[in-house]
Amino acid sequence: MPPPPPEPLPHDVANEADDEQSLSEGDSEMEDRQPLPLYEGEDVRLTSKQELFGFYMYGWAAEVFVVCGIGSFIPVTLEQLARENGVLLSDRSTPCKSALESSAPSIWSSNPPRGAGQQCIVYIMGFEINTASFAMYTFSISVLLQALLIVSMSGAADHGRFRKTLLLWFAFVGSIATMLFLPMVPKLYIMAAVLAIIANTCFGASFVLLNSFLPLLVRHHPEVQFPDGTRESSLLDEGDLDRLIDPTFPEEEQYTNHVNSGERSNHTEGIPNETSALLPHPTLEQSTTTIPTPASHDLISLELTLSTQISSQGIAIGYLAALIVQTLSILIVLNFGAATLGLRTVLFLIGAWWFVFSLPTAFWLRPRPGPPLHLATSSSLSRFKHVRVFWAYFAYSWRSLGRTLTHATHLKDILLFLLAWFLLSDSIATVSGTAVLFAKTTLGMSYAMLALINVIATTAGVIGAFAWSRISRYMRLSPSQTILACIALFELIPLYGLLGYIPAIRRWGSLGLQQQWEMYPLGAVYGFVLGGLSSYCRSVYGEMVPRGWEAAFFALYAITDKGSSVFGPAVVGAITDRWGEIRPAFWFLAVLIGLPFPIMLLVDVDRGKADGIALVTALVEENKTEQEQDAEADRVVAANHINGLERGEQHF
């Protein structure tokens, strides 16, 4: 019979009330049949409906920022604030007139395109910058800082109870920074850019932490733990319990915690650890192997299906929230008319929404702590404890990134996926900002019209989040093939914009993004594609991530995502500064979107999982050696210390 689990750490008791709020009454019987914890503080309780609701609620809260804020009103606000401090590009002396509407016209009104002659520039530190480029450069800086932050806090996300704590801190800081746009008058346009950088950096970091919860929610979900339906029974015999636990995988040794090594070997022998692959439990016939292998393809498909389902529902819920806020935003900008206060009021609403609806996540999402880092204690340095802890996690995070990159080189499919995602995520972020600024500065669309584009895109995104799963089932597409279909459809957007260079179409005056109405159907295509890419990319990647490295590999995923977004907006900004308008950037976007397609053709999810299992086995052996070396070093230090004390006594 398996030994009893280790006693909880004091911090477990302190957070017991927080965890208990995450339990639904219907889960109490199933909690009695959960696998034993590998380390002190591990939460192996089954995923509850309330916990899933807490996960979904953060999407409801924060997705509004990226869809309505970054995707629409923040770049427009930054461009407008800079415009009111700039001069016309045509003569570099005439102050730019406010582009705000003198009255609130119909959202269907059609103003003539401005053209390059109405483009504005602003001088920052002696550099001449197009006001549209100002917004793009701000975004590039924010994602660069975002990538650095994600790396620095990844260790705290992997270890201890900081995963949820950091998520909430980033949520509240980012939301407050967004609300502070309200007092940003045109003269404070640089300060507004700083707030945008803070808010976007916090948003990206918080979503990395949220994404790292997804594999844990799937792994502990009742449908995965009890795929044969036995979860309906309240009793399990000893043999049933053993079959719920992987009896063959080597004990966890990649993390050092406060458990005595002798006790650890007794408590954790035969228990799946944090580096175990996200795969069904092996059968008795498979228990003679040292590397766990899937019991059946159907059970693997169950986990992938569940992961995709949770991811898709989270994206759809976030888009529904964005749709509500975007609709309210149209009413606000129409009510304020020509005042930039309308834009800033919308951003205050976005920040307040993010703040308020993050509170349910604070109550219902379980911390799901990882193994604690081993931090030596010293009474003489107790006053610097917090600084030492911060530095330990910071240093560990960067070392962990180096190890993750080293280990990722052995995961061919993860490398291929990350390369494709690097290009694809850059194109997603760049197309969004480029389209909004193109519509405002080149087509002369009003704020209400820009908000309507986002409403259409958001509605299409909600439809896409649900529709792509049905499309993939109907056409019998694998998740990777579904991503390829999304990329092919996404490519139509820049290609359509390039039609404006064809002389016959240009003389006609329609098509090729020459009229304002053309932005609406393209917005629908963008939203529909994004609804599929957001859910399928996250779930496919999550299935290939080695167990126990969720935060580290999702940090790598986010670095690839956000880090790539440094380049796209910066390149578009440089093209705009060079040519005086945004349209030439469509050539760059067409290439950027098309490059991931052949790379995704090479990704094999099943092969990626198998490579993850092999990597985990190598990690276990490597960490055993490292721990033995550390133990020997500790013994040498202790012996030298004792010898020193003895010599001191003899001298005395």
Structural domain includes residue 536: yes
Structural domain includes residue 62: yes
Half-sphere exposure of 579 (CA within 13 A, CB side): 14
Tell me what pLDDT residue 597 has.
93
The string of pLDDT tens digits covering residues 596-620 is 999 999 988 888 888 877 777 776 6
Structural domain includes residue 619: no
User: What's the structural domain count of the chain?
Assistant: 1
User: How would residue 278 be classed by pLDDT, with cut points 50, 70 and 90?
Assistant: very low
Residue range of the domain that includes 369: 49-98+118-222+304-373+412-603
Asked whether 358 and 61 are in contact (CB, 8 A), the reply is yes
Query: Would you give the DSSP letter of residue 34?
Result: P
Asked whether 627 and 256 are in contact (CB, 8 A), the reply is yes
Structural domain includes residue 19: no
Tell me what pLDDT residue 616 has.
72
CATH number of residue 543's parent domain: 1.20.1250.20
Place of tokens 């959202």: 107
Residues 6+ apart with CB under 8 A from 568: 426, 427, 429, 430, 592
CA distances from 249 to 7, 23, 122 (A): 23, 29, 62
The predicted model scores a pTM of 0.69
Structural domain includes residue 572: yes
Structural domain includes residue 516: yes
Tell me what pLDDT residue 538 has.
77
Structural domain includes residue 82: yes
Asked whether 36 and 5 are in contact (CB, 8 A), the reply is yes
Task: Select from 382, 387, 600, 432 the least CA-distant residue to 72.
Answer: 432
Asked whether 436 and 190 are in contact (CB, 8 A), the reply is no
Half-sphere exposure of 324 (CA within 13 A, CB side): 13
Tell me what pLDDT residue 236 has.
33
Question: What are the phi and psi torsion angles at 548 (to 5°)?
Answer: 90, -10
More confident residue, 25 or 396: 396
The sign of the dihedral angle between the CA atoms of 15, 16, 19, 21 is negative
Task: Select from 208, 177, 212, 209 the least CA-distant residue to 192.
Answer: 177
Tell me what pLDDT residue 357 has.
95
Given a cut of 60, whether residue 547 has pLDDT beyond it is yes
Question: What are the phi and psi torsion angles at 120 (to 5°)?
Answer: -115, 150
602: tokens are 């090479």
- Rounded Cα distance between 181 and 341, Å, is 10
- Rounded Cα distance between 115 and 90, Å, is 11
- Rounded Cα distance between 423 and 632, Å, is 46
Structural domain includes residue 285: no
Tell me what pLDDT residue 228 has.
65
According to DSSP, the residues that pair with 130 across neighbouring strands are 121
SS3 124: strand
Query: Among 194-198, 305-309, 480-484, 547-551, whose mean pLDDT is lowest?
Result: 547-551
- Could you give the residue ranges of the DSSP H alpha helices within 292-411? 297-336, 341-356, 359-364, 385-408
Average pLDDT over residues 112-134: 75
